[in-house]
Amino acid sequence: IRGDLQKALHDLATRVADGSLKLDGILIELTGAADPAPVVQTFFMDSDVRRAFYVDNVIALVDAKHCLEKLDESKGDPQEKGTACAQIAFASTVLLNKTDLVNEATVLECENRLREVNRVVEVIRCEQARVPLAKLFNVRAFDLARVLEEQYMDEEEFHSFYKPKMDRSISNVGVQFTGNICMFKFQDWLEELVGEEENAKDFLRIKGVLSIQGHDRMFVLQCVHMLKNQNFTKPWGDQPRESRIIFIGRGMQQRRQMLTEGVLACIAQPLRFAVGAKVMARLEDDFAMGTVVRQWDELNAYRIRLDTGDEVWAPLDEDGFVKAPP
């Protein structure tokens, strides 16, 4: 489907560019058995598509009468029947339809189960799939700015208790912490996590708002499998510099300790060398004597002026990059 979709989008973009076609938007309808991942990824992977289009909203229509049954089926055999959970995990909006055919207790259970899969999704109750169009369009669900506004940023939502799951069903793990992140250490860890397709396949979505050491703006991250969209956004200002990140995918609960410890290990620690200290700085093949002239310069732990007059950076405060003279 990805190749066909890419070609169709290229053709549409060309026609829009030459003025032969005017578009308000594109609606892509998938079958009930389709995995949405390849479609969403197309808008991230192809640079021409990315310039011409963006993903505004991913909507899943869920039948309240059969919701629990389908989620149980998907969880019980995630490799073969995991599509229902995958669709919920990728969705930014869920239309919980036919709520008039079940009682309130069932609707509430459906909502709770849906949020076990995707804590940040907006669930809209409806009958005959009728909802205000304003809730479906101009959502810009995959914009970095949207991450700052999502439900999991709410204190009560974020601290909700996650039940341990001992299967490979799709679930989510959230980590909230204080302490600024060392950017280079975090990027190395993220690359280990989703840099290879074999590792990334279980990570359907990663979203985070992080406080980075050496920068006064919020760092916002959104990943779809291996594909990363990340940048600095608005200033922290007077807000507490509190970081939050959520992982959505298969087997997240089994990885809870690994994910939590991994992201916390990226917190920047007090630096060993003060400004003015003599150090040995790593060059390509050797170390050279120099002096620390600045800490946390352009997100690097140190900027170092070598005795030769040249300047270099040590991205991490580790002996592999900078160490005390003998």
10-46 tens-digit pLDDT: 999 999 999 999 999 999 988 766 677 778 878 877 7
Q: What is the pLDDT of residue 150?
A: 53
Please check whether residues 94 and 14 belong to one and the same domain: yes
Q: What is the pLDDT of residue 76?
A: 52
Which pair of tokens denotes residue 10?
Answer: 């290229």
Ordered alpha helix ranges (H), the chain: 2-17, 37-45, 47-52, 67-76, 78-81, 83-90, 104-117, 144-147, 155-158, 183-194, 197-200, 256-264
pTM of the model: 0.68
> Over the stretch 105-143, which tens digit does the pLDDT of each residue have?
999 999 998 988 887 789 999 999 999 999 999 888 777
- Whether 187 is covered by a domain: the verdict is yes
- Whether 272 is covered by a domain: the verdict is no
Domain that holds residue 199: 144-264
161: pLDDT strictly greater than 50 = no
User: Residue 251: left (phi > 0), alpha (psi -120 to 50), or beta?
Assistant: left
Last residue of a domain, one of 90, 113, 135: 135
Residues 6+ apart with CB under 8 A from 239: none
β-pair type (242-250, 203-210): antiparallel
Last residue of a domain, one of 135, 168, 189: 135
Gap between the Cα atoms of 177 and 262, Å rounded: 12
Q: What is the pLDDT of residue 69?
A: 84
Please check whether residues 230 and 303 belong to one and the same domain: no
Please check whether residues 128 and 194 belong to one and the same domain: no
φ/ψ of residue 255, rounded to 5: -95, 5
Please, are residues 303 and 289 in contact by the beta-carbon 8 Å criterion?
no
214: pLDDT strictly greater than 80 = yes
Number of domains in the chain: 3
Please check whether residues 115 and 30 belong to one and the same domain: yes
241: pLDDT strictly greater than 90 = yes
Gap between the Cα atoms of 45 and 160, Å rounded: 34
